[in-house]
Amino acid sequence: MPYSSLNPTTGQLVQAFPGWDDQRLKQALEKSHDAQATWALTSFARRAEVLRETAIRLRAQRDRYAAIITLEMGKLLREARAEVEKCASVCDYYAQNGENFLRADDVKSDAGKSYVAYCPLGVVLAVMPWNFPFWQVFRAAAPALMAGNALALKHASNVPQCALAIEAVFRDSGLPDGLFTTLLIDAGQVTGAIASPHVHAVTLTGSEAAGRKVAASAGQHLKKCVLELGGSDPFIVLRDADLELATDTAVASRFLNCGQSCIAAKRFILVPQIADEFLRRFKVKVNALKLGDPMDDSTQIGPLARLDLRTTLHEQVTDSIAQGAVAVTGCKAVERKGYFYQPSILDRVTAKTRAWHEELFGPVAIVIRVAGEEDALRIANETPFGLGSSIWSEDTARAEQLAAHIQAGCTFINGMVKSDPRLPFGGVKASGYGRELSRLGIHEFVNAKTVWLR
């Protein structure tokens, strides 16, 4: 079966779902296309009403949705509850602000009247990952639907129950049939979906490799595309940083979601004056993390989502150690049922090690020691990725100066990198292009149409 719910805590199969053939995919996209034509004529007030009702239902059934997330991909239950709440917040945000964001802009020209109108594109194909199986979908769906588009979801194959639950909550909230559709197709059918005349744009959150394939297909068929791909976020700690705050946040940022986050802090770049003391405090806090059942609210580290992810992570760690990195703590799998890996720190990571060049998607922090601020900035940018970044310093004016030169979609100063409906989110370089969230996010999938009147 192409779609299987495997419990990462036990490794056991929960439920399997048969995949669709190409004919069923074609019919679903045709239905979405027809439904969108009517939805585009629906008032902003009606669209907002659906989003507000969706937010209400998400909050009312938060624990049920959170349990599905935890069951399918191993996220801590309390983190899953927060994810559901965040989905409700993005629905409320676009319900409140969407109409204003899409209000026509009057422009003075040689016309008697001219303006830019923002019109829906049509059906947006969303290819989404497993690591935030509700949030990634809602941050694309809420603005797309508010703008008058339809959304067809190709979700990750290991979270089918999450995908179907999201479809159901939209339907139960009054969204007309066909405007949000879960496509139970395999990766090989995505190219055909993009090629369909009933699909008008594509958004993908996932790996760099997947992004290249989707972008190539979208380009071939002249479809608008937004990509949010991997990251290797620098966490730069300067000599005057508040080390207690920095190490607390370092643990939260690196080990949230068992380290399976594109915007997790991944490279801890330390100047000499604080390197040893930062690492001492960091190690103590990492070693104090409690590993266990993600359904237990006292657990701080759950399993990785899949066995192959753990296997790859450990190969990256062992290769890096063989190449000169130093294992400070952890750096091995846990001998128990499920896909657990010890929370880990690798020190003395250099350009000779695999961990320097690749994204480590799991509970492993890498420490890079640098000569000073200029070296820290150079190394922060010495990566193919450019998603998030953070700087830690009591001299915030100096930190802002450095932030201007970091090649990333965002820089947080003395704070943990996160997404927020009010702020644009996305990357540069191999981390993708386009923006989600905020006013920019809803503008990605509309036609900015000039209207000129004599």
Adjacent-strand bridge partners of 333: 341
Residues 309, 311, 317, 322, CA torsion sign: negative
C-alpha to C-alpha distance for 414 and 247, rounded to whole angstroms: 11
Q: Which of 87, 258, 262, 331 is catalytic?
A: 262
The residue assigned the tokens 């990462």 is 8
C-alpha to C-alpha distance for 179 and 37, rounded to whole angstroms: 10
Distance of CA 38 to CAs 122, 148, 191, 283, 442, Å?
Answer: 11, 9, 26, 57, 19
Question: What's the distance, CA 375 to chain centroid?
Answer: 29
Is 331 tagged catalytic? no
C-alpha to C-alpha distance for 139 and 212, rounded to whole angstroms: 21
Q: Which of 53, 83, 167, 228 is catalytic?
A: 228
Residues 289, 159, 409, 230, CA torsion sign: positive
Closest residue by Cα to residue 369 from 270, 251, 289: 270
- Residues 6 or more apart whose Cβ sits within 8 Å of residue 454: 111, 112
Where b means 16+ CB within 10 Å and e means fewer, 173-189 reads bebbebbbbbbbbeeeb
C-alpha to C-alpha distance for 108 and 116, rounded to whole angstroms: 11
DSSP 8-state secondary structure symbol assigned to residue 126: E
Distance of CA 87 to CAs 132, 169, 266, 280, 313, Å?
Answer: 10, 12, 25, 37, 29
Closest residue by Cα to residue 363 from 385, 339, 381: 339
Quickly count: other Cβ atoms within 10 Å of residue 315's Cβ.
Answer: 11
Angle between helices 243-255 and 272-287 (to 10 degrees): 50
> Within 387-431, where are the H helices?
396-403
Is 262 tagged catalytic? yes
What is the edge-to-edge ordering of all strands in the sheet holding 233-237?
326-329, 344-347, 364-369, 265-270, 233-237, 390-392, 412-413
Adjacent-strand bridge partners of 113: 453
The residue assigned the tokens 């049509």 is 122
In the chain, the N- to C-terminal Cα span, in Å, equals: 60
* Enzyme catalytic residues: 228, 262
